[in-house]
Structures are given as C-alpha cells and as structure tokens.
Amino acid sequence: MQSKPKQSSSPQGNGVASIAVNPLRAGIESNRVSDPCTIVFFGASGDLFKRMLMPAIYDLRESDILPADFGLIGFARTPFSDEQFRDYCKQCVDQFSGKKPVNETLWKDLAQRISYITADFDDTSHFGPLKTRLEEYEKQFGAGRNRLFYLATPPSVFPKVIAQLGNAGLDPAQNRAGWTRIVVEKPFGVDLASARALQAEVEKVFSESQVYRIDHYLGKEPVQDIMALRFANTIFEPIWSRNYVRSVQITAAETLGVEQRGAYYDNAGALRDMIQNHVLNLLALIAMEPPASPDADSIRNEKYKVFSAIDPPAPEDVFHTSARGQYDAGTIAGEVVPAYRAEPDVRPDSNTETYAALKLFVNNWRWAGVPFYLRSGKRLARKLSEIAIAFDSIPHRLFGEKSDTIEQNVLVIKIQPDEGISLRFNAKVPGPKNHIRAVTMDFNYGSGFGVESAPAYERLISDAMRGDAMLFTRWDAVQRAWEIVTPVLEVWQSIKDRSFPNYAAGLDGPEAAALLNSHWRPL
Amino acid sequence: MNAHQVLDALAERRGEGATLSTIAINLVAFVEDASLLDWIAQRTDAIAQRHASRSIFLDASHGGEAHSVDSERKESEGTTTTRSEQIRMNVGDMGAAALGSVARELLVPNVQTVLLWAGPSLLDERFAALAELCNIVILDSSRAHTDAECLRQLARIADERLQPKIRDLAYMRLLPWQDLVALFFDDAKLAADLPALRAVQIDAGSEAEGYYFVGWLASRLAWQPCGKHAFCNAQGVQVAVGISRSGEPRRVQRVELRAPDRKFTAALDPDSRDLVCLTVTGAESRPARCAPLREVDVLSLIQRAMLATSSGDVFAETLRMVRTVLAQA
C-alpha cells in the first residue's frame, strides 16, 4: 500500500504545488516523498539509530524514496565532529543496511547532507545552534522549512527535548512556512500517569496532527495486510463476528532474552513492552469495524472504539484474566541460556515478568462473548508472531470415522518470521473409508508476490515525511491502552509472584498460562 | 502432443495423499530462437523460485513429443503443498490452433495467466492464440536490429482488447527515466521551461526506448509531429528531436532537453551504470544530483510487469503517439 506523492493543497506542503502543475508527473508512479525536508534525530549516537534508523535512511535513499531535497542532523551527547558522525553513519549502514553493497556515489551524495551537533538535552543554549543549522540546511539543500524531529533517545528524555524545542522557537507555531512534525518512539509513558504527563508536555508544543507515535509492528507488511484481508474480500467479513468466531489468539513470542536492555526491561516487563502497544494494536485491527474511509483518522477512530469496548479487568479479577511468567535458565537452539535474574543489569530478585498473557473481551455487538487471548514472552520455544482466529466447531457431525478429530477451522495471519496467511480446514483422506483430516492452505508473501516486504522503519519514516499518520498511534488509543493494562500492572506490582522463575527458557511459557487458556497454539 | 500426458506426469509428481496447491500464477513462455532458450529458461526458473506459479515453457525451436515436468513441494503440519510446477515441452510442430488448445489445457484454471513472448513476430498467429488465453502479455519491442519493426507491429495490433494486457519491457525500462526527468520540473521555477523546450536528444542502445521516450514527452506536452525529426508544441513552435544509438542495447544512456536559457541533462553516471545524474546548466543552474536507476534488469522488469494491475493510460497515449511518429518516419 505504498502511497503516491501527496498532492496536498495544504499551505504547509512546500514544493507540492509545483508538482501539481508539472504535466510530466501525470500517471507516473513514484514512491519518492514529494516534500523537501530535514530530519533531526535526537539520540543519534544510540543503539536504535545505529541498528534501525540510519540504515533505514540509507535504504530509503537507495530506493529513491527520500525527497530530492533532504538533510539529516544528528543531535546527541556523544562528542562527534561532522566528519566523525558521517563515518559513524557509514559504519551503521555498512553493518545493518538491507541494501548491500553500499553504493559509494549515493552514499557520498547522502553524506554531504548529514551533520551533527554535540549537545546536552538539558542545556537550552544547545538548541539555538540546532535552529541555526536547520536554517542553513534549508538554504543549502532546498529543504523547504519542513522539519521532522525524531525522538530516538531514552524515554526519560522525551519531555526535556520537547520543551527545549518549544523554548528554542522550533515549535510548529514558529514555522508557518513549512511543516513541523515529531516522531515519538515507544514506550509512550511507563504507565497511565506518566503517559498523561508526557502527553501534557507534548501538547504544550505540538498539536495531535503533528505527533507521530511509532509502533514499528504497525509498519510490518502482514499487519498492514490485515485490513486488506478483511475489507478487500467478501468471504471473511460475514463470518468475522461472535456468530462464527470462537476465540482469537494473538502471540508475540521471542527466543531472545533481554540482550543489552536489562536495565530498561527490568523496569518495564512484557506487559508494558509488548502487550500495551504492539499486541493491543493487532487486536484493534482484527476487531475494528470497517472505517468510513481509508484515511488515518477514520481508521484510528475505529481502533479507538475497539479499545473503548474493552473493560479493564477489575483488580479482583486480574488473576483470572491474566498470567505472568519469568524465564529460568534453559536451552534454546542447542545453546544454554541464563535465567532472567542472571542477565546483565537485572536485579537478582527481580519480580519483572518476561511473559504476559491476558484474556480480554471486546464488549460490542460484533464480539460480545468472544475471548481474545494475548500473549507475549521472551526466551520462548520459537520466534513467532501471529494472530489465530479459531472458528466454531461444526454443529453436527456427518463425516469422518469415530477415531477422527474434526478440527475447528483456523485462519492464521502470520507476522514473523513467516509473513502470510494460512487457513486450516478439514478434507476427506483419499480412499474407501470416510477418514477426515485437517489440512492447511498457505499463502506466503515471499512466494505469493515474489517480492520482499520493506522493513517497518523504512515505511514508517517515509510515512512521517509524507504526513500519513495511518500507521501511527493516536493519543486517545495510547491512553485507553494504558487504562486497559493498568489494573493488571498495579496488581502484579503489588503482589510478587513467588513462583518466579516459573518457566524454563526454550519452552512455551509458564503453566499459569494454561490455566488462562488450555488451547494455546503450540509455539 | 496430448496435454493430458503432461498433466498425468505432473499428477504423478505430486504423489499420494492429500495435496494442496498454492499456485497463483500461470507463466507461459514462448521461445522460437534457439539461442534464447537458455536465457529465457533461466528467467522463468527464477520467477518460479519466487512465485507460487505453474510455468509452461513452450520451445518452438524443437519439434517432436518431448516434454518434462518438475515441481516444488512443501510439507507443513501434515499437509503436502505444491508451491510451483514447471512444464517444458517442444511445440515446434504445432500450428496456432493446436498450440492454443494445448496451452489452454495446461493452465491452472481461474488464476492470473501471464505470457512471456519471445517469438519472432507479433503478427504470428501463435502470438494471437496465446495472448487470447492470458491476462498479461509481456514482450520486449527493444531489439538490437529490428526495433522499429517490432514497435510498428505492436502499434498495429494493439487494439482496445489487447493493449491493456501489453507490458512492453522497452517501455517499462523508461519508467525510472520518466520519473527522473519529471523531477527537473517539480521545481516550479524550472517548470516554466516545459512549454519553451526547443530540442530533445535521446541516446540509447536501442531505438525502441528512444521512440517511447519521445512519444511519452509529446503525449504529455501536447506536441504533434510536424516533420520527420520534429514536433510542434501547442503554440506551433518547433521542437527538434534526435534519437541516437549509443551504448548497450536496451539501455538509455542520456536524455537532454534544451530550452532557450537552460539545458537539462539526465545521464548514466560513468562510474556506475545503476545511477543517473541530473544536471541543469545555463541560467539558474543546479548542482548535480544522482539517483538510483532501480529495477531495470529483465528479471525485475518481468516481475513488475506481472504485478502491475494495468498498462495504464499513459502507456496507451504514448503508444498512440509512437504509432503516429512511426507512420511519418
């Protein structure tokens, strides 16, 4: 669903009007972002920039998606000269770009548009040079006055940077000649109160339409395909309700542990890190009503309605509607891995969950009574993200021998590592007997279209430059998602789970999860 | 040749038990020039690797009954799924009617069918018989020595029914060039030069790309042919047109547009054949900017042709203009 260059009539869409009068543009499909812009990465010396963002920028350049007039400014504490930062960026690209080998001519063209400001986020005086640099870029590279600020810093720094942008006159209100947008990485707050506090800071400087809260799961091609599956086909929607669906399972399982993120993760846990954002967003896409139109706000309105229809569990119900776990030492792919509590920067008596499962209901006309089972965990048996929609059993058995099991139909939307859709149904085994067996029909993106999906960050960064907010999360949905998980967080925080660690690394999760749902799909 | 023998051989390959097929595309390749057999076969094999497809390779350079089949299967959760199938058969002895009927039998029904035509002439009845079966017809009118003839044939046969199916690789190769040349005039200050263009020069390794590019420009800018090597714009002012052969076949080398005060040049970077550098010289010149020339290899073009939902109005208008130009040439 790559969009065409935006033909906006907005006065903020610099350079767009000229395209509208270019007769050579008619009928040409181009993925290039039409608005010139400068992107400022706060936290440009960090891991996210190194592994994801800078490689995505180069890959966008290599795919000719970056606007013709483009600049990049890194802004972080680590001291770098411009030249050193360009060398660092090149290392990031060499190491992590998906487009190898790196084209040296293209890199040189991109590198001349990259510079760096060594800065302390607390120091207001460091934001003045940023403003000056932006103005220089806008003259030198013709980048209009379109500015995309990207918060790739630790979340604790978000409010400071936002406030400093306002103080330095870099807020949208001071930039009427172009657009100003801000991309905020997850997590947006660590709980409901902190999310509201952060939003209060954001609102002082930016309006909602200028804020792009990123959830990179939403940039994955199979996630985007959920709406196409539902609303570009007629066969699914009539059965997409409580009348035919018995349950929905959403799984985001990882084999990795906390890696270098022990300090962050030990204060977060699986519920905050995955369920509150990624997994709930998947639930919304599955459960939402057809939007009135494909624009961002219509879709986000419908997603919000789903969240509104989910009642947060009452504190006394938390243990009936959730399960938590923490991994012990175990073996994954033949390799012995340590217990969570033995990971670097993790407290030895940590009560943080590395596995979380919830049972939720969407209390509306379509979904009343259908359980949505959500689970996410680290150090599980397999890396697997999928949504499984299990349909009702047949009402009356006509076929099959007594020994045969007539299984439910299951539609699986596969997100990773495989990307595609599969459907399980029953078929007669050839032969004189009436044996019935379940078979699976598979569609894989790779083989179905013969093209690889673009990495999520490429899609999301280019969408932010285009001003397309469809794949970004609106504040009302973020707030409601926090409201849904807050009772669980509070109960889990107040009552330690003395069984921790309660699952060995490399297994499907804790036994407690089976009490919540005895029919989890095997990992 | 009995198509059922081939289908029986495929069924045998599938073996016993419940088997599903995820085949979503039929790819029919027709080749008559023996020197192209391996080249086309490599590309159809590559497509079969990437797509859940049944490829039907029709070798018209050999007669007789010879055929072979192969398939790729996958086991998952107790189910055997056929992901792709390959059929190769000699059809040198077949006339158009027989060829069409055999091909029809071999197609997986109700899925998209693509013809990759590497036959000698578009006026060949076998082309019509196969094109009739297909949703998409991929051909390449860019040939080293017979460019204009192939384009003339295409312009002649591309009626309302056939034209939307056509994906001409020679035209598709130009799409990134069109985008990059348009990029000059996204700049509002330079867009004013479009009605004032006085000369166009295209250097390409084959003529088809040159004709297509000029046809595209003329159709976009409302030029009409007014001489053997000239168009007239809407004000009646003449625009000189030159198409020169240079460089590798089937590759555009350089496009130059001249206005009274400026020259716009898009040219392959001498150090990297995958980059095009754009320069504006003269009044208000701009620094050079290079952009990647993406997916212009044959395999990528075929892939794009297979996935494109239509050939588009711009192609139809361009082809009409090419027809007019060739009629005057």
Contact status of A105 with chain B (Cβ, < 8 Å): yes
Q: What is the pLDDT of residue B294?
A: 76
Q: Given A18, A109, A449, which is nearest B290 (Cβ)?
A: A109
The answer to whether residues B155 and B319 touch, using CB atoms and an 8 Å cutoff, is yes
The answer to whether residues A68 and A36 touch, using CB atoms and an 8 Å cutoff, is yes
Contact: B178, A24; criterion CB under 8 Å:
yes
- A–B interface: beta-carbon pairs under 8 A: 121
Lowest mean pLDDT across A5-19, B20-34, B310-324: A5-19
Q: What is the pLDDT of residue B20?
A: 63
Instruction: Report how far residue A150's alpha carbon sits from residue A40's, in angstroms, rounded to the nearest whole number.
Output: 6
The answer to whether residues A35 and A16 touch, using CB atoms and an 8 Å cutoff, is yes
Instruction: Report how far residue A308's alpha carbon sits from residue A72's, in angstroms, rounded to the nearest whole number.
Output: 39
pLDDT digits (tens, 9 = 90+) for B170-221: 999 998 999 999 999 988 888 889 999 999 999 998 889 999 999 999 999 9
Instruction: Report how far residue A190's alpha carbon sits from residue A478's, in angstroms, rounded to the nearest whole number.
Output: 11
Q: Domain locations in chain A?
A: 16-185, 218-391+457-516
Backbone torsion region of residue A331, taken as left when φ is above 0, otherwise alpha when ψ lies between -120 and 50, otherwise beta: beta
The answer to whether residues B232 and B238 touch, using CB atoms and an 8 Å cutoff, is yes
Q: How confident is the model at residue B255 (pLDDT cuts 50, 70, 90)?
A: very high
Contact: A103, B275; criterion CB under 8 Å:
yes
Pairing of strands B53-59, B25-31: parallel
Pairing of strands A420-428, A70-76: unpaired
Contact: B16, A430; criterion CB under 8 Å:
yes
Nearest chain B Cα distance for residue A91, angstroms: 21
Which 8-state DSSP code applies to residue A94? H
Instruction: Report how far residue A522's alpha carbon sits from residue A506's, in angstroms, rounded to the nearest whole number.
Output: 12
Q: Given A18, A27, A443, which is nearest B187 (Cβ)?
A: A18
Rounded to the nearest integer, the mean pLDDT of chain B is 86
Contact status of A24 with chain B (Cβ, < 8 Å): yes
Q: Given A15, A64, A447, which is nearest B291 (Cβ)?
A: A64
Segment holding A150, helix H or strand E: strand A147-151
Contact status of A427 with chain B (Cβ, < 8 Å): yes
How far apart, in Å, are the Cα atoms of B280 and each of A138, B265, B269?
20, 6, 15
Contact: A24, B182; criterion CB under 8 Å:
yes
Q: What is the pLDDT of residue A299?
A: 94
Q: Indicate if the alpha-carbon torsion angle A444, A450, A456, A460 is positive or negative.
A: negative
What superfamily would CATH give domain A218-391+457-516?
Dihydrodipicolinate Reductase; domain 2 (3.30.360.10)
Contact: A22, B194; criterion CB under 8 Å:
yes
> Which residues are B38's β-sheet partners?
none
Please choose, from the candidates A235, A241, A168, A166, the residue with its C-alpha nearest in 3D space to the C-alpha of residue A201: A166
Amino acid symbol at A415: I
Residues from chain B contacting residue A103 (CB–CB below 8 Å): 272, 274-275, 292
Q: What is the pLDDT of residue B72?
A: 80
Burial class (CB in 10 A: 0-12, 13-18, 19+), B210: buried
Burial class (CB in 10 A: 0-12, 13-18, 19+), B114: buried
Contact status of A18 with chain B (Cβ, < 8 Å): yes
Q: What is the ipTM of this complex?
A: 0.84
State yes or no: cis peptide before A159, omega within 30 of 0.
Answer: no
Q: Locate the chain B residue with the closest alpha carbon to A449.
A: B51
Contact: A27, B314; criterion CB under 8 Å:
yes
Task: Tally DSSP H helices, then E strands, for chain A.
Answer: 18, 18
Q: What is the pLDDT of residue A15?
A: 36
Q: What is the pLDDT of residue A17?
A: 36
Q: Locate the chain A residue with the closest alpha carbon to B219.
A: A24
The answer to whether residues A383 and A415 touch, using CB atoms and an 8 Å cutoff, is no
Place of tokens 């906390």: A258
Contact: B182, A439; criterion CB under 8 Å:
no
Count of alpha carbons within 13 Å of A342, Cβ hemisphere only?
A: 10
- Catalytic choice (A126, A216, A278, A396): A278
For the structural domain made of A16-185, what CATH number should be given? Answer: 3.40.50.720
Radius of gyration of chain B (CA): 23
Q: What is the pLDDT of residue A33?
A: 85
Contact: A430, B77; criterion CB under 8 Å:
no
A435 is catalytic: no
Pairing of strands B112-118, B230-232: unpaired
Nearest chain A Cα distance for residue B328, angstroms: 24
Q: What is the pLDDT of residue A134?
A: 94
Count of alpha carbons within 13 Å of A58, Cβ hemisphere only?
A: 29
Burial class (CB in 10 A: 0-12, 13-18, 19+), B164: middle
Contact: A448, B292; criterion CB under 8 Å:
no
Nearest chain A Cα distance for residue B307, angstroms: 7
Q: What is the pLDDT of residue A447?
A: 56
Contact: B18, A62; criterion CB under 8 Å:
no
Nearest chain A Cα distance for residue B11, angstroms: 14
The answer to whether residues A316 and A234 touch, using CB atoms and an 8 Å cutoff, is no
10-residue averages of pLDDT along chain A (523 residues): 36 38 84 89 94 95 88 96 97 91 88 94 93 89 86 92 95 91 93 95 96 89 87 93 97 92 91 95 96 92 97 95 97 92 95 97 97 97 95 84 82 89 84 79 68 80 94 96 96 94 95 93 90
Q: Locate the chain A residue with the closest alpha carbon to B291.
A: A64
- Does residue B76 surpass a pLDDT of 80? no
Contact status of A420 with chain B (Cβ, < 8 Å): no
Q: Given A28, A106, A450, which is nearest B182 (Cβ)?
A: A28
How far apart, in Å, are the Cα atoms of A102 and each of A90, A95, A398, B28, B47?
9, 10, 61, 36, 26
Count of alpha carbons within 13 Å of B325, Cβ hemisphere only?
A: 30
Q: What is the pLDDT of residue B161?
A: 80
Nearest chain B Cα distance for residue A147, angstroms: 19
Instruction: Report how far residue A453's alpha carbon sits from residue A161's, in angstroms, rounded to the nearest whole number.
Output: 33
Burial B117-153 (b: 16+ CB within 10 A, else e): bbbeebebebbebbbbbbebbbbbbbbeebbbebbbb
CB-based contacts of B252, cutoff 8 Å, min separation 6: B173, B174, B177, B202, B203, B204, B205, B209, B210, B213, B268
